[in-house]
């Protein structure tokens, strides 16, 4: 496995972020050349999807975002690295999560500027090989930014809309070496939760809260995406997200994860897509469609003791509802994704 603390990979990503954040729009492509492998895969939420040219990532994502959010700064809440535990994928991945904050001075994706502080929730997974970044999953909550600009992309949420804080313990920035035993405990807690998600156990139906209590502490916090919101305690999580999610989505298929890692008391995963589900009506106040849709998800967790206690979630809800024939971005802003990004194959 090599360096079990992954300090070289962490430093490379820290240097990349620092230089990318400091670069002008004209200089970002030079930063890409220094840190990104020529054969590269960047995965981003709708309307960006997959981009395989490092320079095109600048043209389509970073440059327009930096022009829109002037004086943009990266405010990181979680930083960690680890060996991918998913069999057949492997590799060392470095993860950061937080907000990209700036002054919202120009339109982005048709979202009108406010001239005020705006914070784009993000989480990114970077795969590092041979001293270069070869893959990136860059997930970001566009509806959350839309709501900050006064738009309402979805019906009222079941939970709360907040600019979300980092960990309550303020220990998520793991720039230094961590005890591998703690990471193993966190990964075991995540694996247990993933394998225990079900509405039936041993052929007997059980209350949802009883299932949740096997994996979560009573004072859990679920920091969900805009359109669903954030919720606190097992009982309110069951009422305000998990229950409506299960009731409003049928034919749930788990497609697996591309990466799952843990370090210290933190861990997380992403898939592309993680889940395929069919809306049966009611979820997020939206109608039944009869069409299966994909959910691309990042989950980041904090463990306390033997159980999980905080969870930050990124779901590509714009893509999911676009697959149902509902273009939330276009109907809310009046600008289509293709018009704004110049993307080819924006719904692949």
Short-list 256, 257, 301, CA closest to 137:
257
Q: At what angle do helices 28-35 and 7-22 cross, to 10 degrees?
A: 170
Residues 87 and 21 in one domain: yes
List of residues 6+ apart from 56 with CB closer than 8 A: none
CB 259 within 8 A of CB 272: no
In a domain, 175, yes or no: no
Note the pLDDT of residue 64.
98
Residues 145 and 240 in one domain: no
In a domain, 1, yes or no: no
Q: pTM to 2 decimals?
A: 0.93
In a domain, 173, yes or no: no
Note the pLDDT of residue 199.
46
Note the pLDDT of residue 348.
31
Q: For the chain, what's the residue count?
A: 348
Residues 209 and 140 in one domain: no
- Domains: count for the chain: 2
Residues 314 and 192 in one domain: yes
Residues 67 and 116 in one domain: yes
Note the pLDDT of residue 276.
97
In a domain, 158, yes or no: yes
- Chunked into runs of 10 residues, the chain (348 residues) has average pLDDT values of 81 98 96 97 98 97 98 98 91 98 98 98 98 98 97 93 95 97 98 78 75 96 97 97 93 95 98 96 90 97 98 98 95 68 39
Residues 157 and 235 in one domain: no
Note the pLDDT of residue 198.
55
In a domain, 299, yes or no: yes
SS3 249: strand
CB 146 within 8 A of CB 330: no
Residues 224 and 318 in one domain: yes
In a domain, 128, yes or no: yes
Q: Look up the CATH number of the domain holding residue 54.
A: 3.10.450.50
Residues of the domain holding 277: 180-330
Residues 145 and 220 in one domain: no
Residues 161 and 234 in one domain: no
Residues 184 and 162 in one domain: no
Residues 128 and 237 in one domain: no
In a domain, 69, yes or no: yes
CB 128 within 8 A of CB 12: yes
Note the pLDDT of residue 87.
83
Neighbours of 131 (CB within 10 A): 10
Residues 45 and 147 in one domain: yes
Each as own residue / partner, the long-range contacts of residues 229-236 (CB below 8 Å, 24 or more positions apart, any chain) are 229/157, 229/158, 229/159, 229/160, 229/161, 229/162, 230/159, 230/160, 230/161, 230/162, 230/164, 231/158, 231/159, 231/160, 234/209, 235/209, 236/159
In a domain, 347, yes or no: no
Q: Where are the beta strands (DSSP E) in 113-166?
A: 117-129, 132-140
Residue 239 and residue 55: Cα distance in Å, rounded? 44
């Amino acid at each position: 496995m090599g360096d079990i603390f992954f300090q070289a990979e962490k430093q490379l990503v820290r240097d990349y972020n620092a230089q990318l954040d400091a670069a002008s729009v004209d200089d970002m492509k030079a930063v890409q050349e220094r840190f990104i492998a020529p054969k590269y895969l960047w995965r981003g939420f709708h309307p960006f999807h997959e981009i395989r040219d490092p320079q095109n990532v600048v043209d389509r994502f970073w440059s327009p975002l930096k022009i829109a959010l002037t004086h943009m700064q990266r405010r990181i809440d979680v930083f960690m690295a680890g060996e991918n535990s998913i069999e057949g994928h492997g590799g060392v991945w470095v993860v950061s999560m937080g907000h990209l904050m700036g002054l919202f001075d120009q339109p982005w994706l048709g979202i009108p500027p406010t001239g005020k502080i705006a914070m784009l929730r993000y989480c990114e997974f970077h795969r590092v090989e041979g001293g270069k970044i070869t893959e990136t999953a860059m997930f970001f909550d566009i509806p959350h930014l839309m709501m900050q600009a006064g738009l309402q992309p979805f019906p009222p949420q079941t939970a709360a809309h907040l600019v979300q804080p980092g960990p309550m313990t303020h220990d998520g920035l793991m720039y230094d070496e961590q005890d591998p035993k703690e990471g193993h405990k966190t990964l075991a807690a995540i694996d247990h939760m993933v394998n225990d998600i079900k509405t039936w156990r041993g052929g007997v139906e059980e209350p949802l809260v009883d299932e949740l209590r096997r994996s979560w502490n009573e004072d859990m916090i679920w920091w969900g995406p805009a359109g669903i919101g954030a919720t606190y305690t097992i009982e309110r999580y069951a009422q305000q997200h998990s229950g409506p999610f299960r009731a409003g989505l049928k034919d749930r298929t788990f497609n697996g994860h591309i990466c799952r890692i843990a370090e210290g008391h933190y861990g997380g995963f992403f898939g592309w897509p993680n889940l395929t589900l069919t809306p049966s009506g009611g979820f997020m106040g939206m109608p039944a469609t009869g069409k299966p849709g994909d959910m691309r998800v990042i989950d980041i967790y904090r463990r306390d003791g033997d159980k999980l206690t905080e969870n930050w979630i990124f779901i590509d809800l714009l893509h999911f509802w676009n697959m149902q024939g509902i273009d939330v971005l276009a109907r809310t802003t009046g600008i289509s994704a293709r018009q704004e990004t110049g993307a080819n194959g924006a719904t692949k």
